[in-house]
Amino acid sequence: MFRVGDLPEPIAPEKLAKLAECETATIGHFLHSQFMDPQLGAVIPERRVAGTAVTVLVPPVDATIMHYAIGHARPGDFMVVDRAGDHRHACWGGVVEIAAHIAGVVGAVVDGAATDYEEIRRTGLPVWCRGPSPVTGKRLGISGAFCVPVSCGGVMVNPGDAILADESGVVVIRPDQIDWVVEEALRRQTAEPGIIARLRAGEKLHMITGAGAQVEAALKRV
């Protein structure tokens, strides 16, 4: 059985561009959930992208819906692939990578395996996954879902969410969170060079951050 929902409203390109200036690790200083399992690693290092989540539920073995989804992808989309627990069969490889790149997809996260790493790196569309596998999905035409809520890397993802991914990991940002997340992340990133300059000038980290005062206050309470 197949389920196909409506494509989500794309997030404004200017919002995605600002989000892509933020490091996932910076967001990790103030947001504690919505981060996918860190075992989902980047196939192409040193890349950071942000896009509109377009979701796919690819059941074990049957990769038919993956081809359907790529055929309906749009520029700016970020493919989020729920593999329903299958970590053996790769549903993303060289041909899917090229088709997605031609469609304007900005990135993909697969909660399972991918294949054809060399071709993925050569094509340049960033992919995050659990690792490589030479065993690929088959077009059995049995079941799958497109543009429905999915679970990827332990996080619920709805079509139309924002996805930010870099070498540190993948985070899901709800549309109503984007503005304040960007503001806070960029504020912290702007402040960081000043902290580094103070460290190089001889100040100690615990004095700059206040951790020293926190520990000393806690010791006095014992």
Same domain, 105 and 166: yes
pLDDT the model gives residue 147: 98
> What does the pLDDT look like over 107-163, one tens digit per residue?
999 999 999 999 999 999 999 999 999 999 999 999 999 999 999 999 999 999 999
Among residues 176, 191, 209, the one where a domain terminates is: 176
pLDDT the model gives residue 150: 98
Same domain, 91 and 106: yes
pLDDT the model gives residue 83: 98
Q: Check if the beta carbon of residue 5 is closer than 8 Å to that of residue 81.
A: no
What's the structural domain count of the chain? Answer: 2
In angstroms, the CA 9 to CA 101 distance is 20
- The structure's pTM equals 0.94
pLDDT the model gives residue 180: 97
Same domain, 116 and 158: yes
Mean pLDDT for 16-24 is 98
Helices and strands in the chain, H and E counts = 8, 13
Among residues 160, 176, 192, the one where a domain terminates is: 176
Same domain, 41 and 81: yes
Does residue 222 carry a pLDDT above 90?
A: no
Q: 60 in helix, strand or coil?
A: coil
pLDDT the model gives residue 91: 97
> What does the pLDDT look like over 158-196, one tens digit per residue?
999 999 999 999 999 999 999 999 999 999 999 999 999
Print the domain residue range for 116: 2-176
Same domain, 162 and 199: no
Mean pLDDT of the chain: 97
Residues with Cβ within 8 Å of residue 203, at least 6 apart in sequence? none
**pLDDT interval class at 26 (50, 70, 90):** very high
Same domain, 44 and 147: yes
Same domain, 11 and 60: yes
Same domain, 48 and 20: yes
Same domain, 128 and 192: no
> What does the pLDDT look like over 62-101, one tens digit per residue?
999 999 999 999 999 999 999 999 999 999 999 999 999 9
Same domain, 75 and 172: yes
CATH number of residue 25's parent domain? 3.50.30.40
Same domain, 46 and 130: yes
Same domain, 68 and 172: yes
Residues with Cβ within 8 Å of residue 162, at least 6 apart in sequence? 11, 15, 16, 19, 50, 51, 52, 53, 172, 173, 174, 175, 178
